[in-house]
């Protein structure tokens, strides 16, 4: 795929669900809310790689407190648009979360399987508090209910790419969140 992805003749990308300006404004609002809620604390923001990396970076800058960061990588999709249901840790944390106020930063809350798995693991490691920040919430696909204290946007059941979200490691660098219309492998 070459050239302008939004005008791709193969029509891989569909409608823009959330444009960059809307995303930027909501991330600022979430940062302000977290700043208020965590006043007097030093939240530890754990980004779930790779999808949440862009959101995590922007959110960290939107919080007006001293924060620390770490990353964890999990896998459940492979090269498919459907979750395999199997979650596994690909990269663990670099430091302990014991006694910390942890915010787990996720790109999309979908089936709940990944977050449920990570919340159980992190809770067992003794944080002072543990809350979830999800940029996108797709409740129509929920299999396991998980608490998410901070939600950016609720979206319909579409496979979306952009702003860190990918299909087969592509489209993460799109500034908007866009519906994937066609499997890029078929175009």
Angle at 138 between CA 132 and CA 139, to 5 degrees: 90
For residue 88, the tally of other CB atoms under 10 A from its CB is 10
Q: Which residues lie closer than 8 Å to 46 by C-beta, 6 or more apart? A: 69, 70, 71, 72, 93, 97, 102, 103, 104, 105, 122
Distance CA 37, CA 67 (A): 13
Query: Which of 58, 101, 110, 166 is an active site residue?
Result: 110
Look up 110 and say whether it is catalytic: yes
Q: Reduced to 3 DSSP states, what percent helix, strand and coil does the chain have, rounded to the nearest 5?
A: 25, 30, 45
Catalytic residues: 110
């Amino acid at each position: 795929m070459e050239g302008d992805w939004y005008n791709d003749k193969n029509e891989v990308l569909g409608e823009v669900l959330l444009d960059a300006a809307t995303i930027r404004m909501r991330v600022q609002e979430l940062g302000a809310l977290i700043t208020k809620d965590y006043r007097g604390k030093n939240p530890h923001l754990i980004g779930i790689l790779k999808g949440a990396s862009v959101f995590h970076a922007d959110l960290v800058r939107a919080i007006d407190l001293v924060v620390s960061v770490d990353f964890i990588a999990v896998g459940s999709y492979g090269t498919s648009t459907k979750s395999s249901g199997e979650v596994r840790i690909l990269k663990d944390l670099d430091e302990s979360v014991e006694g910390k106020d942890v915010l787990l930063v996720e790109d999309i809350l979908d089936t709940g399987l990944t977050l449920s798995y990570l919340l159980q693991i992190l809770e067992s490691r003794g944080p002072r508090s543990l809350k979830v920040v999800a940029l996108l919430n797709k409740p129509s696909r929920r299999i396991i209910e998980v608490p998410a204290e901070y939600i950016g946007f609720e979206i319909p059941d579409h496979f979306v790419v952009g702003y860190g979200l990918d299909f087969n490691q592509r489209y993460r660098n799109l500034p908007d969140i866009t519906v994937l219309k066609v499997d890029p492998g078929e175009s």
